[in-house]
Structure 1
Amino acid sequence: MNQIPGRWRRILATGATTVGARGASLLVNLLVLPVVSRSLGKEEFGLWLNLTSTFTMLSVLDFGVGLAVMGQVSEARGADQGASTRRVVTTALVLLTGAAVLLVVFCGLFAFTLDWNGLLGADRVPTAVVDQLVLAVGVTAALSLPLTVAGRVYYALGRGHVAALSTSVGVLAQAVALLTVAALCPDLRWFTAVYLATSLLAGLVPTLLLAARIRDARPRLRDVDRDTCGRLGREGAQLFFLTLMGIVSFKSDSLVIGHYLGADQVAAYVLPFTVYAAVPTVAGAFLTPLWASYREAWARGDQAWVRSAYLRSVGLLTAAGAVAASALVPVTPWLLRGWVGDHAAIPSSGLLAALGGYAVIMCTTTAVAVFLNGAGQLRPQLAVGAVMTVVNVGASVWSVHRFGLSGPLWSTVLTQTLIVLVPSMVVARRRLAHPRTVLPEALRTAG
């Protein structure tokens, strides 16, 4: 029981710094996007938005290993198994380094063979430039894969503030670099290059700090472990497919709009979406440390704390999403004009309503999903996620022709609510009614 107050203190401290990092990222977007928009043509700006969004998607696609590391290090911490932490970290780094090599090869094969101009709706940008930028995005995303491990370990150890502060440093460096490019050489290639370089820096800093300061997490090749590799692979594969389905479902709307309506329409969707997506992003900042704490609490047998934390998180995040969305809807046109300028495309009432619904639904869904991840309930999420992904993509393509910019987002809101959220809440209720440890036998007996 004496673990409970300390656990909440760590969650709140980590959550506060994570909110600060997310807030810094949001402020950078508010500051930088209008500058980049004015520096580039409409189509180039739309292409840049798609490229940076794609990099963000690829850089978190670490095949689920990073999230599996966070869960398994949390379990090892709950079972007081320091040696297991080093095995998990070392094995994960080896796995992701191999994945990075494969991704580089893949990018080399396809960067110059596919029609990226047509796929990205950027017909007026030179083909050579688009191909080079696609290759740069893919290679940088590959290099960032092993760098995701350190941040996850810090969250698992209750020191997520280190990762959050490193993210803030990277975001500020990115803002300075982008503004410098805008002042000295406003070119699509330079904007993309500095964005990628500073993003890589944000992952490198916590990796170096982890190796230097935390002995139990310092990687050593002799600690690569076959059983650990299997556990990371199994859990990571499930988390990877969950992440992949989420990306396809939630991040593909801008690609659908760019392909069917043209790259010049992407900004009209992405800019207001960026404002509303900040709601679940900021509100969910506390959920990353909560995920790790769920795993630790299950390992220690603190099921009462788990139940209380789950109910609080769902209630608070749903309320926060509703309040924030209600406040944003009437002021969005003013915000966009103040942000981008008088030439900003003002969202229709249909798109505004969809954006508000998205913010609320994603706050609730994220809270439920974090609990299910911490409780080891991945297979039910895979089942509903697979159905939602197929239905949502098809519905987005159908609706963009009939309802324009708001169509894909309405498809996302409806399918997420009916296919994912409702069944997930049923699974969570059943899991709470039948508590059991999720700590693997291998960790319980590890020395």
Structure 2
Amino acid sequence: MNKQLTSLLTLSKAYLHKGKGRTVKARKNILGSILIKGGSIAISLIMVPLTIDYVNPTRYGIWLTLSSIVGWFSFFNIGLTHGLRNKFAEAKAKGDHAAAQMYVSTTYAILTIIFSGVWLVFLFVNPFLDWVSILNVSSEMRSEVSLLAVIVFTYFCLQFVLKIINTLITADQQPAKASLIDLFGQLISLLFIAILVKTTEGSLLKLGVALCLSPILILGIANLIFFRRKYYNYRPKISKIDFKHSKGLFNLGLTFFIIQVAGLIQYQSANIIIAQSFGTYEVTSYNIVYKYFNMLGMAFGIFLSPFWSASTDAYFQNDIGWIRKAIKKYLQLIVLLVCGGAVMLIFSDEVYRIWLRGNVEIDFILSFWGFIFVSTYMFGNVFVNFLNGISALRIQFWASLVSPIIYILVALAMIKYLDMGVYSLFIASLIANFNGIIIAPIQYYLIIYKNKKGIWIR
């Protein structure tokens, strides 16, 4: 038995170290991510019923809706972290450590300036915002929700700056380490919520503090550790801030910014539309279905996460064969995950009953469209990740200008004129995601198989 175990470990080790550098790095990160993401998924599933029990489904829906509204302010990121990811990876590949540090320092400086200003403006404006009407809640909750908004907004502003370290780690083709940082934050949040459930009555404010404080503490510690050790040569310094010579970062970041805004409108507005049209209870239903089927997306993301930066490396080294093989393997994986998702759909009602202890009723049709949405999203995400990695963003940029308009119009038309339910948000997302589902695969084929240039590669 010991010989068999030793032989298995030897074969596994040989497999992990077989192939090109980027392939070996990807395999190691995938293996690490499987363990880490598995823990993350488990914590996410545990937190949903625990949180609902603590504050009830309607109040949990308020938390989700408020988080979505505040999440809109992430557009002030102006895509800089995505631009940094590509530029940092390119600079490291070329051995230009000075340029890499300049990009890091400049990004930290700009995001700190932007989100400090945004935070101060919000503190001034918040007392004048009518959160009762915005969230469609009871007037008795006015002061509670207003203070919760300040807590959540402060968290968002801080995490946009501190999460730059995750961008660097991912650009360095080590997404497993970035996921580990997030996992620690989730663990601390789960611990805080468990303590709240045992020691206090349900409170949105206490829930907000528990969910917001933990990730910020972990991100702050991660910044200190990585910039004192592994990324010491790239640590942000005031003397390295250079707005003039970081034009490439900003141009690329601006393109990602538009694409990012489109994504925010398309995905963050769902909770707001549902709250206004159906009430905050249905926000909870919609998000539970999304969380359930997005386990497929999270599992797929474990394997896909190294691909963005790896494709940057492969494309600029003209290793087209590696890219083709990688895409084929990802598509095969999607087929397996979709089959698993079909099983999840069949048993969804039973899973919800056990998972949520009967606290939330969910229609099967909502689950069906949630499954379809996640399946198609995984497919499109393969090609979008490749195009992002090689900065071929022009077509995605133009598509992102119209996709949010299509999404909102289709969703509202289905709800108001066709009298369709919450599932219409998933259908609207499918239609609005025409770039990922149709255009991006065509663009990939023309670049990799037909060697097309021009607008396809820009």
Q: TM-score, normalised by structure 2?
A: 0.88
Judged with a 3 Å threshold, the aligned counterparts in structure 2 of structure 1 residues 433 and 226 are, in CA distance, closer, same or farther, namely: farther
Residue 11 of structure 2: aligned partner: none
Alpha-carbon contact 1:100-1:142 (below 8 Å) kept: yes
For the residues of structure 2 that align with 1:70 and 1:136, how far apart are their CA atoms? 29
Residue 289 of structure 1: aligned partner: 306
For the residues of structure 1 that align with 2:245 and 2:450, how far apart are their CA atoms? 27
Identify the range of structure 1 (42-51 vs 369-378) with the bigger mean alpha-carbon deviation: 42-51
Alignment of 1:4-153 (within 5 A): 5-54=20-69, 62-123=77-138, 125-153=140-168
Alignment of 1:2-401 (within 5 A): 5-54=20-69, 62-123=77-138, 125-185=140-200, 186-213=202-229, 214-313=231-330, 315-348=331-364, 350-401=365-416
Deviation of the 1:57 alpha carbon = 6.2
- Paired AA for residue 252 in structure 2: E
Alpha-carbon contact 2:148-2:204 (below 8 Å) kept: no
Alpha-carbon contact 2:61-2:284 (below 8 Å) kept: yes
Alpha-carbon contact 1:28-1:175 (below 8 Å) kept: yes
Judged with a 3 Å threshold, the aligned counterparts in structure 2 of structure 1 residues 169 and 419 are, in CA distance, closer, same or farther, namely: closer
For the residues of structure 2 that align with 1:26 and 1:259, how far apart are their CA atoms? 29
For the residues of structure 1 that align with 2:296 and 2:149, how far apart are their CA atoms? 30
For the residues of structure 2 that align with 1:171 and 1:386, how far apart are their CA atoms? 34
Deviation of the 1:94 alpha carbon = 0.8
Identify the range of structure 1 (268-277 vs 61-70) with the bigger mean alpha-carbon deviation: 61-70
Give unmatched runs, 5+ long, in structure 1.
439-447
Alpha-carbon contact 2:377-2:437 (below 8 Å) kept: no
Judged with a 3 Å threshold, the aligned counterparts in structure 2 of structure 1 residues 29 and 176 are, in CA distance, closer, same or farther, namely: same
For the residues of structure 2 that align with 1:37 and 1:319, how far apart are their CA atoms? 33
Judged with a 3 Å threshold, the aligned counterparts in structure 2 of structure 1 residues 103 and 13 are, in CA distance, closer, same or farther, namely: farther
Residue 447 of structure 2: aligned partner: 431
For the residues of structure 2 that align with 1:110 and 1:430, how far apart are their CA atoms? 49
Residue 10 of structure 2: aligned partner: none
For the residues of structure 2 that align with 1:29 and 1:59, how far apart are their CA atoms? 22
For the residues of structure 2 that align with 1:222 and 1:3, how far apart are their CA atoms? 42
Deviation of the 1:297 alpha carbon = 2.1
What SS class does the counterpart of residue 376 from structure 1 fall into?
Answer: coil
For the residues of structure 1 that align with 2:64 and 2:198, how far apart are their CA atoms? 19
Partner deviation per Cα, 1:17-57 (whole Å, 9 max, x = no partner): 33433333322222122122122244212112223455666
Deviation of the 1:435 alpha carbon = 5.2
Deviation of the 1:240 alpha carbon = 2.0
For the residues of structure 1 that align with 2:210 and 2:20, how far apart are their CA atoms? 43
Residue 443 of structure 1: aligned partner: none
Deviation of the 1:192 alpha carbon = 0.6
Q: TM-score, normalised by structure 1?
A: 0.90
Judged with a 3 Å threshold, the aligned counterparts in structure 2 of structure 1 residues 282 and 121 are, in CA distance, closer, same or farther, namely: farther
Give unmatched runs, 5+ long, in structure 2.
1-16
Deviation of the 1:142 alpha carbon = 0.8
Residue 408 of structure 1: aligned partner: 425
Deviation of the 1:434 alpha carbon = 6.0
Partner deviation per Cα, 1:88-138 (whole Å, 9 max, x = no partner): 111111111112112202322332222222222222552111111112211
What SS class does the counterpart of residue 128 from structure 2 fall into?
Answer: coil
For the residues of structure 1 that align with 2:245 and 2:304, how far apart are their CA atoms? 26
For the residues of structure 2 that align with 1:388 and 1:68, how far apart are their CA atoms? 22
Identify the range of structure 1 (296-305 vs 333-342) with the bigger mean alpha-carbon deviation: 296-305
For the residues of structure 2 that align with 1:110 and 1:300, how far apart are their CA atoms? 50
Residue 3 of structure 2: aligned partner: none
Deviation of the 1:176 alpha carbon = 0.3
